Structure 1
Amino acid sequence: MWETEIQSFGDYLKIERGLSKHSHEAYLRDIQKLSTYLSIAPIAISEVEESHILAFLKDLHSLGIEASTQSRTLSGIRAFFQFLVFDGTLKADPTVHVKNPQMGRKLPDTLSFDEITAILEQADLSSPEGVRNRAMLEFLYGAGLRVSELIGLKREDIYEDQGFIKVRGKGDKERLVPAGRDAFKYLNLYLESVRPSVPVKKDATHFVFLNRRGSGLSRVMVFLICKDLAAKAGITKVISPHTFRHSFATHLIEGGADLRAVQEMLGHESILTTEIYTHLDRAYLTQMVQDFHPFSSLKHKE
C-alpha cells in the first residue's frame, strides 16, 4: 500500500535531504507503520484525514509506546505528507493541525540523605583538594546551587553572619540563598587552611573555589569530582553536580517546605519547574497511607 509514494519520499530523503542510512530507514518505517494501520479499511493516500492520524497515534499510545517515540513517529509522518503536498500528489496535509503527544516531564535522579552523607565523607580532609571538594559539595547540596553558580561564587558573595550567600543564576539574576552550618564550616576550613597557599591567577582573585594552579574551576572538573566521590562511596547511580541540587529540593519538599520558598531558593522563574520535585513527596505520602492508614492496615491483616 502506498508503495509508489513511499518510494518517491525515500528517494527525496536520500538524494535531496542527504539523510544518513539510519535516519532514512527510520522515516520509512514510520510511514510503513501508518500504511499498515490504514490498510485494514483500506484507505487510499488521498483519503487520509486528520482523524486517521489521531486514531493511529491513539493506537500507539494504547500499545504502551512512549510519548517521545510517538512524537518522533509523527515527525516522520508529517514530513511524508508535507513532501506529497510539495510534490503535487496531495492538495492538503492531514497532519497540519495534529499536535505532538504531550511529553511527560523527566523526573530527576535523587540521592537519599544517607547517600549524600556517604559521598561527602569520601572527601579526604587531609589533602587540600579534599577540603575544597567537601566545601563545594556542601554548597551544592546545602544551598541547591547549579554548577555554574558554584564555580562563579565570589568571596564578596558570602554573608556568613546572616547565614546567606548571594547567587548569580540564569540571566544573571541575583538571589539570596540560605546555607547550612556545615557548608560554612567547611568553607571556612578551605578559606583559612587551603586557599591562602594557592598561587591565585589575576583573573581568578574574586572566585571562592580554585584549582591547584590558581584558576577558576570548570564545570567538567566539578562533574568529575562528584562522579569520583560517588564511585568511592559505592553508589552506582548516574551522578552529576545537578543531582545534589535535585536532592536538595526533593528533601526540602519531603520535609514539608513551602513550594514557593523552594522555588525562590532554586531560582526558578516558574513554579511549574519546581513542581517536578513534588513527585517524590507524593510517593512518600502514598507509602505513608499504605503503611499507617487503618483501612490499609486492615487489608494487610486479612
Structure 2
Amino acid sequence: MSSRAVDDYLRHLTVERGLARNTLASYRRDLAMYEAWLEREAIGGPERVSEADLSAFARYLGAEREPALAVSSVARVLSSVRGLHRFLAEEGRTATDPARNLRPPKLPMRLPKAIPVEQVAAIIEAAGIGEEVVALRDVALLELLYATGARVSEATALNVDDLVDDEVVRLFGKGGKQRIVPVGSYARRALDAYLVRSRPVLSVRGSATPALFLGVRGRRMSRQAVWQVLQDAAERAGVAASVSPHTLRHSFATHLLSGGADVRVVQELLGHASVATTQIYTLVTADTLREMYTAAHPRAR
C-alpha cells in the first residue's frame, strides 16, 4: 500500500504533467519497490529518508537485490525516486531534497548494430522478389534507406518533390531540420524504376497524395509498413541477425567510415547535431581494424 506522499506525487504527475497511463504505472511500480525497501529497513516514509539511505537503496538495487536489476532498470527506478523527493522538497514537505546528489549508474555504451555489405545487398535483392509493383517499391525504399542513412520517419515523410534531382534527396530530420543527402547510383536506378513503373499504379488506388512511397491502397506508407517490408526481405534473404530500418542507418554510417569517410561528413549526412553522436560509429570501425591487425600482423599476438 502506497504512502500519502507517493499518492500525492502520482496525482501530481497525472494532473500537472499529464503523463500517459503506462508511464504512470511504471512510476507506481518503481516507487512501490522503494517503499517496500524503506519499510523493510524500518526507515519510515519518504519524508524521513537521508542521503545515506538513498545510497544504500541504490546499492541494494544493483547488487544486493535478488535478482539484481539491470543497470538500465536501476537508472529508471532511481529517476522515479529522485522525482518523488524533488516534489516533496518543492511542496515544503521536507526541508531539503536528500536525492539531489543521487546519480544513476552509468549505462553501458551501446554500439550501433550494423550488418555487412553482403547482407545488405542480399536483403535488397530479396525485396525484389514478388509482384512487380510492390517489389519495385520495396527495392527503391530499401535502397534509399541504405544510400542516405535516413531515419524511417524521414523516409516515410518524403514527397516526390523532395527528390531534388537525380543526384540528391531532401530529408527533414528532428525539429524539422533540413539536409541534402546524395543518392548513389543503385538507389537512383531503383527510384527511377519505381517512379515510372510502380508508383503510378499504386497512386490510382487512393486519393491524390504527394508521398513518395505508397502502400498498396495508394496512401503514404507507415513506419510499421516499412519495418514489415524489411523484415520480410531479411527473412527471404536468410539473414538471421535482427534487422530494422535503423539497422540500415547504422550500416550506412559504419560502412562510410570503414571506407574512409570523414566523421564530420558522416555527421552531416546523418543529421546529427553533434559530432560526438556520430563518433560512436568510429568505435565500431576501430574494432574491425583491431581484428584485422591481430589476424594479419606477425607480432600482434
Alignment correspondent of 1:170: 174
CA contact (8 A) 2:27 2:80 kept: no
User: Among 144, 147, 171, which residue is 1:142 paired with?
Assistant: 147
Output the amino acid matched with 1:129. Answer: V
SS of 2:216's equivalent?
coil
SS of 2:279's equivalent?
helix
- How many residue pairs get matched? 285
SS of 2:192's equivalent?
helix
CA contact (8 A) 2:179 2:271 kept: yes
CA contact (8 A) 2:10 2:28 kept: no
User: Among 189, 209, 229, which residue is 1:225 paired with?
Assistant: 229
Q: TM-score, normalized by length of structure 1?
A: 0.75
User: Among 236, 242, 262, which residue is 1:238 paired with?
Assistant: 242
Cα 1:216/1:74, change in 2 over 3 Å: closer
What is the CA–CA distance in structure 1 between the aligned matches of 2:268 and 2:91, rounded to whole Å?
A: 53
Q: Which runs of 5 or more residues in structure 2 are unaligned?
A: 12-20
Quote the offset at 1:32 in angstroms: 5.4
CA contact (8 A) 2:82 2:102 kept: no
Quote the offset at 1:15 in angstroms: 9.1
Alignment correspondent of 2:292: 288
Cα 1:82/1:219, change in 2 over 3 Å: closer
Matches within 5 A, 1:180-199: 180-199=184-203
Q: Which runs of 5 or more residues in structure 1 are unaligned?
A: 1-6, 298-302
The one-character-per-residue Cα deviations of 1:199-251 (angstroms, maximum 9, x if unpaired) are 445541x3332223332222221111111111222234333222211111111
CA contact (8 A) 1:262 1:274 kept: yes
What is the CA–CA distance in structure 1 between the aligned matches of 2:7 and 2:249, rounded to whole Å?
A: 45
Alignment correspondent of 2:14: none
Quote the offset at 1:129 in angstroms: 0.3
Q: Indicate yes or no: 2:267 matched with 1:266.
A: no
Bigger CA drift: 51-60 or 267-276? 51-60
The one-character-per-residue Cα deviations of 1:46-65 (angstroms, maximum 9, x if unpaired) are 99653564466468667886
The one-character-per-residue Cα deviations of 1:50-106 (angstroms, maximum 9, x if unpaired) are 356446646866788643233234245546766987999964442223233333444
Q: Indicate yes or no: 2:72 matched with 1:71.
A: no
Bigger CA drift: 215-224 or 53-62? 53-62
CA contact (8 A) 2:231 2:244 kept: yes
What is the CA–CA distance in structure 2 between the aligned matches of 1:89 and 1:15, rounded to whole Å?
A: 11
Structure showing greater radius of gyration is 1
What is the CA–CA distance in structure 2 between the aligned matches of 1:175 and 1:16, rounded to whole Å?
A: 42
Root-mean-square deviation (CA, aligned residues, Å) is 3.8
SS of 2:126's equivalent?
coil
SS of 1:153's equivalent?
coil
SS of 1:109's equivalent?
coil
User: Among 133, 139, 143, which residue is 2:138 paired with?
Assistant: 133
Matches within 5 A, 1:1-302: 10=3, 13=6, 17=10, 26-30=30-34, 49-50=50-51, 53-54=54-55, 57=58, 66-75=70-79, 77-78=81-82, 91-123=95-127, 124=129, 127-161=132-166, 163-200=167-204, 201=206, 203-204=208-209, 206-297=210-301
Bigger CA drift: 116-125 or 87-96? 87-96
Output the amino acid matched with 1:243. Answer: T
Bigger CA drift: 211-220 or 85-94? 85-94
SS of 1:295's equivalent?
coil
Q: TM-score, normalized by length of structure 2?
A: 0.75
Output the amino acid matched with 2:152. Answer: V
Bigger CA drift: 257-266 or 222-231? 222-231
Cα 1:34/1:17, change in 2 over 3 Å: closer
Output the amino acid matched with 2:239. Answer: I
Bigger CA drift: 57-66 or 119-128? 57-66
Bigger CA drift: 152-161 or 217-226? 152-161
What is the CA–CA distance in structure 2 between the aligned matches of 1:286 and 1:34, rounded to whole Å?
A: 49
What is the CA–CA distance in structure 1 between the aligned matches of 2:198 and 2:275, rounded to whole Å?
A: 39
CA contact (8 A) 1:10 1:28 kept: no
CA contact (8 A) 2:133 2:201 kept: no
Quote the offset at 1:252 in angstroms: 1.2
What is the CA–CA distance in structure 1 between the aligned matches of 2:257 and 2:239, rounded to whole Å?
A: 23
CA contact (8 A) 2:111 2:284 kept: no
Cα 1:129/1:60, change in 2 over 3 Å: same
Quote the offset at 1:122 in angstroms: 1.1
